[in-house]
């Protein structure tokens, strides 16, 4: 029986979750799903330039697991670019360290942690806000995990 997958830590939820070639109708495209942990591997290694050891520590996984994760992510991104598929970021066995809140009224986005619940935009006071981690089904679980780990 295979063992359970370790939950991987992700810094914050992605701002954008769908990408497609310009000028092609969404309905006519095949879709590829990039998991949130694969997205985080790309962010750490290719965007921030971390080596595999540093990135694996940040995600709280082994270096060999990180290497497999980044290879899968790069293959999917290559498929997206070369074959002109739609790319969706979703899923994965993850927890977020922090969160992003977006105000739909003024467009302000701000980073936050899970320690206190935000109900109003700090910029304009509107209640019309979106919790990006909540959109992935996270919040309470991440708050509990981050408080228990002290990171």
Confidence band (pLDDT; 50, 70, 90) for 151? very low
Mean pLDDT of the chain: 89
Write out pLDDT tens, residues 101-124: 999 999 999 998 887 788 899 899
Taking the C-alpha atoms of residue 148 and residue 60, their distance in angstroms, rounded to an integer, is 14
Query: Residue 44: which of 70, 7, 8 has the closest Cα?
Result: 70
% of the chain surpassing 90 pLDDT: 66
Write out pLDDT tens, residues 11-38: 999 999 999 999 999 888 999 999 999 9
Whether the pLDDT of residue 146 is over 80: the answer is no
Where are the chain's structural domains?
A: 8-94, 98-146
The CATH classification of domain 98-146, taken from the options 2.60.40, 2.20.28, 3.40.1000, 1.10.150: 2.20.28
With b meaning 16 or more CB within 10 Å and e meaning fewer, what string describes 3-39?
eeeebbbbebbbeebeebeeeeeeeeeeebebbbbbb
| Pair of tokens at residue 33 | 């799903």
Q: Answer whether 93's CB lies under 8 Å from 59's CB.
A: no
Q: Answer whether 51's CB lies under 8 Å from 66's CB.
A: no
pLDDT score for 118: 84
């Amino acid at each position: 029986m295979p063992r359970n997958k370790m939950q991987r830590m992700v810094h914050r939820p992605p701002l954008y979750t769908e990408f497609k070639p310009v000028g092609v109708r969404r309905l006519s495209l095949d879709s590829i799903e990039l998991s949130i942990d694969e997205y985080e591997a790309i962010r750490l290694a290719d965007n921030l330039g971390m080596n595999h050891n540093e990135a694996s520590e940040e995600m709280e996984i082994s270096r060999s697991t990180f290497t497999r994760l980044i290879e899968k992510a790069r293959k999917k991104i290559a498929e997206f670019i070369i074959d002109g598929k739609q790319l969706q970021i979703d899923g994965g066995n993850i927890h977020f360290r922090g969160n992003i809140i977006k105000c739909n009224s003024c467009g302000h986005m701000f980073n936050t942690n899970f320690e206190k619940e935000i109900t109003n935009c700090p910029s304009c006071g509107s209640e019309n806000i979106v919790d990006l981690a909540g959109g992935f089904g996270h919040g309470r679980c991440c708050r509990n995990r981050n408080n228990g780990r002290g990171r």
